[in-house]
Copies of this chain bind each other. A is one copy, B any other.
Amino acid sequence: MSGHVTILTGGVGGAKLVLGLCHAIPAGSVTAIVNTGDDFQHLGLSVSPDIDTLLYTLSGKANAAQGWGREAESWGFMSAVRSLGGEDWFQLGDGDLALHVLRSQRRRQGDPLSTIIADFASAWGIAAQVLPMTDDVVATKVETDEGMLDFQYYFVRRRCEPIVRSIRFEGATTARPGPGVIEAISNPDCEAVLIAPSNPFLSVDPILAVPGIREALAGSRAPVIAVSPIVGGKAVKGPTAKMMKELGLETSAAAVAVHYAGVIDAMLVDERDPPQDLPIPSARVDTLMTTLDDRIRVARAALGLARAVRS
């Protein structure tokens, strides 16, 4: 595969596949379209969790043990915030703050998120293109048995405990795809579009909710391949399985494939899952991405499936 590969991604799990992809093919040929529905204002700062996770992962700064934030992070800021009675339910590490402070400053000066992220990625020597799904504000809201919750409130403060009834993406109907997003999907040199094994409802759906992106995927010449987020009937991490149950869905690759109907052309399914009838072509591999080699292997398997679909 000599051309470009585009990947839709959310947080930690998605970042692992993007990293694998950047080793499977030249990183300069990879474009990641990243969920910004998790973005929020905290302590007056613009925080973009999924984008930052990807920047940390691709630049070798991610904290692998913790699963979020920076390696070798310090916490002097949070400790001082606590001493001042400030909000401390969302952890902002000292190094991590640099992204939020510089992003906030430039956002206030009128710079679009996409430009800021391109500059961050460039400063950190990231060869892949990292594109926010939109430069407009889209905010994921989770309707639960405790009422409508802001995403980070549901996800971090309430640790995904409330029962989910539905999810909406505030601002999505008027949001425009970020610069380069539609091109990355529709360009003739795009050979495959991957959907990372991120949470379909919280990480991928916000991207699909930006008008134009779903249509571009449906019309793309390149095959669209989802990597199933389900491994042995469970989610590797995060609330995907719990949410699927709460939304009345079976926790299976098939249910995810149905959810992505009209968008994807094939799905990479974990070999631990029971064989199941999928309405689209599929391949079965070990999709667990513990080591870098795992990540490269899963990226290659997804690209192989794309090749098979194309031929």
A contacts, CB < 8 Å to B: 43-45, 70, 73-74, 76-77, 79-81, 83-86, 93-99, 101-102, 104-105, 108, 119-120, 123-124
Contact check, A98 vs B123: say whether CB atoms are below 8 A apart. Answer: no
Q: Indicate if the CB atoms of B105 and A80 lie closer than 8 Å.
A: no
Known A-B contacts A94-B77, A95-B76; A43 and B123 likewise in contact (beta carbons under 8 Å): no
Tell me the complex Cα distance, A108–B45, Å: 11
* Contact for A102 among B86, B99, B104, CB less than 8 A: B86
A-B contact pairs, 22 of them (CB 8 A): A43-B105, A44-B104, A44-B108, A73-B76, A74-B74, A74-B94, A76-B93, A77-B77, A77-B95, A77-B97, A81-B98, A81-B102, A83-B98, A84-B99, A84-B102, A84-B119, A84-B120, A84-B124, A86-B98, A94-B94, A94-B97, A97-B97
Q: Say how far A201's CB is from chain B's closest CB, in angstroms.
A: 31
Task: Give the residue of B44, B76, B96, B123 whose beta carbon is less than 8 angstroms from that of A74.
Answer: B76
CA distance A102 to B70 in the complex (A): 22
Residues of B within 8 Å of A77, CB to CB, are 77, 94-95, 97-98, 101
Chain copies in the assembled complex: 2
Contact A76 B94 (CB under 8 A): yes
Residues of B within 8 A of A45 (CB): 101
Closest to A116 in B: B84
Q: What are the residues of chain B within 8 A of A43 when measuring CB–CB?
A: 101-102, 105
- The main secondary structure of chain A at its interface with chain B is helix
A255 to chain B, nearest CB (A): 41
Whole-angstrom CA separation of A115 from B74 in the bound complex: 30
Q: How far is the CA of A110 from the CA of B79 in the complex (A)?
A: 25
A93→B77 CA distance, assembly (Å):
8
Q: B80–A97 contact, CB under 8 A?
A: yes
Q: A41 to nearest B CB, angstroms?
A: 9
Q: Which residues of B contact A70 (CB under 8 A)?
A: 80
Q: What residues of B have a CB within 8 angstroms of the CB of A79 in the complex? A: 95
Contacts of A73 on B, CB cut-off 8 Å?
76
Q: Which 3 A-B pairs have the closest CB atoms?
A: A44-B105, A76-B94, A80-B98
Contacts of A74 in B (CB 8 A): 74, 76, 94
Judge whether A123 and B76 touch: CB under 8 Å. Answer: no
Q: How far is the CA of A105 from the CA of B101 in the complex (A)?
A: 12
A77–B76 Cα distance when bound, in Å, is 10
A108 to chain B, nearest CB (A): 6
Please pick, from B84, B96, B99, B123, the residue contacting A85 in the complex, using a CB distance under 8 A. B123
Q: Whole-angstrom distance between the alpha carbons of A154 and B108 in the complex?
A: 26
CA distance A215 to B133 in the complex (A): 59
Contact indicator A95/B123 (Cβ below 8 Å): no
